[in-house]
Structures are given as C-alpha cells and as structure tokens.
Amino acid sequence: MKTKTTIILFIILSLFSCKDEGVSFGTVEYYPDFLWVDANMSSVKKTFVFEFSPDAKSDNTTFAEFQFVDNDGKSIKEDVMQVYIDGKQLKDNRFKINSNVDSKIVTFSFSPGAKSGKYQGYLKLINHQLERLNSQVLTSGQQADAFQWTLQFSKIMNPLEKVLIWLIVAMISALAIWFFIIRPVFYPHFGKLKKSLLIEKDGRIIAQMNYSFKGARKVIFSVKKEKQSFINRLFIGEIKYLTNPVFVDKLTFSPRKKGAAVYGNGYVINPNPIPKSGVATINNVHQKLVIKIR
C-alpha cells in the first residue's frame, strides 16, 4: 500500500502568543444577577483553520481527534470549562475532524461556579490517522500536543450593582462635602452656648430660664413657632424657637465665633454680638421689654 504523507496545520485567528504561556485565547467574564439585571457569562470565540496535505484530502479515512487538557494532560471537566464547536457543546471537551474540514468556530466558556483565575493546558492529539502534525512525525497511535493554550476566567460585578455603588459613593461624598465643608461656611451652627435669660415687662419679671443654643442654626424669640420642613432642618439646620406673647417683635440670634449676633426691629442690643461669657442687655422701648442675658 502506498504511504501517504499527511500534515495538519493549525492556524488560530485573532490570538496573541506568549513564549511562556503558549497561545492566549483571552478572557471569559461572568457576573451574577442583581435586581432586574440577569446574570451573564461571556465567551471567547476563535476560528481554527486546518490545512491538510493534498494526499490527506484525497484519503477519506484521514482524521484527527483532539482534546483540551490541563498542563498535567488530564481532561478538563465540563462542569468547569465548556468548549463548543460551531455552537454545539463538546463532550469531554474533545472533537474530531476529517480531511475535508477547512475551519471550525471554537467557543470557550465556564460554569458560574468555576474559580476565577488563569486556566492553562494543551490541545492534545489523542487519536488520528496521520503521519505528521505540523512538523512532528507521528507513529501509529501516538498522542501529541498541538500547542499550549491559556484562558483567563474573571468574575466581575454586575453592571447595575456597580452603577448603584458608584451612585451611593457619589451621594455619600456629596453629602460629606455639604455637611462638613459647605454648610459650616454658609450655614454655621451654635456650639456649646447656654445662657441665663431674665425677661422683664413693664418693670416686672415675667420669665427666668436657662436656654441652650447648642446645635441651632438660628434661635428666634417670637409669639409663635413657625413650621420648618424636615429637609430644610436636615440640610440647612434647625431653627429653635422660644415663644412668648411678649415677643410681638421677632428677635433673632445667629451664631458667631465669639457668641451670637442679635437683630430685630425695635430692639437695642448691647453689646452686639453678645459674648459667650458676660452680660448683655436687649431693650425694646416700644414694648417696654428688657431681656438680660448672662
């Protein structure tokens, strides 16, 4: 019988080679489901091109069977890595071609439960009717490695989850900037400021109390308390009210570094701002009202 020289050559399109790691197929990425965005497993798709010798093409008994194995030559389990040829999953990650095959679309994927990291191995010739594989002479039944491959598997964050996390980080950052940088400049609050108040009307003491200004953006003496929205109180600051029928003319206290600035129509304040420690007198001649603060 005439001996036929049979050569098979692999050409892998769109791949990058590395001396130490062989042929790099690329990266498969997976992210789990989150809220209304379903889980997704990407895949790596490559075209394998086969070139048989003229003798091999004329012999319909010529075939080659390959298997994707790890570096130890062991079969890679299908529940870890899946390989598809022309969209059909391979059993035991092996496939067979005849000499009339020119190319195959090979797709690589992983199971969600597989570990992230680098997977490496060989495309192994496990059965054949060939005399040569590339430049390697083959004997009957001989197995051979066509080439070494590397594939990366990465588990990433769901895109929706990532967007929400960035939004939360941005919101927290914005709130931190507002509460700790901007608000103290434009809307200062009282620190530990507590004063004794003595209120006289028509020469008669009508009220005497200790009053804490702490934490307030403003303190207002008035006949009634005005409503302040929750959002305004949260982001701008609380306005405290001291209500009494004698405060027909509103009196407002605002924080200053060394005490409180006081303003109100019809009032004479001495000194103003009132100091953190010491005495201040507030007079309203028209209302015959005197407030002594110490």
Q: What is the residue range of 28's domain?
A: 7-155
CATH of the domain at 143: 2.60.40
- 50, 40, 60, 29: which is closest to 105 by C-alpha? 50
Looking at the fold, whether 231 and 128 belong to one and the same domain comes out as no
- pLDDT range class, residue 137, cuts 50, 70, 90: low
Which of 12-26, 27-41, 82-96, 224-238 is predicted least confidently? 12-26
DSSP bridge partners of 239: 218
Any domain includes 176: no
Structural domain total, the chain: 2
Q: Inform me whether the pLDDT recorded for 94 exceeds 90.
A: no
Question: Average pLDDT for residues 281-293, to the nearest whole number?
Answer: 81
Any domain includes 119: yes
Please report the pLDDT score of residue 163 as a whole number: 93
Looking at the fold, whether 40 and 109 belong to one and the same domain comes out as yes
- pLDDT range class, residue 95, cuts 50, 70, 90: confident
Looking at the fold, whether 151 and 207 belong to one and the same domain comes out as no
Q: Report the predicted TM-score, pTM, of the whole model to 2 decimal places.
A: 0.63
Looking at the fold, whether 81 and 213 belong to one and the same domain comes out as no
Q: Are 195 and 294 in contact (CB under 8 A)?
A: yes
Question: Average pLDDT for residues 195-209, to the nearest whole number?
Answer: 81
Separation CA 245–CA 213 (nearest Å): 21
Question: Average pLDDT for residues 198-227, to the nearest whole number?
Answer: 83
Question: Average pLDDT for residues 185-204, to the nearest whole number?
Answer: 83
CATH of the domain at 209: 2.60.200
Looking at the fold, whether 72 and 144 belong to one and the same domain comes out as yes
Looking at the fold, whether 74 and 12 belong to one and the same domain comes out as yes
Of 155, 180, 212, the one marking the end of a domain is: 155
Any domain includes 177: no
Separation CA 116–CA 118 (nearest Å): 7
Looking at the fold, whether 213 and 91 belong to one and the same domain comes out as no
Looking at the fold, whether 100 and 231 belong to one and the same domain comes out as no
Q: Is 159 or 194 the better-scoring residue by pLDDT?
A: 159
State the chain's mean pLDDT as an integer: 80
Of 126, 155, 184, the one marking the end of a domain is: 155
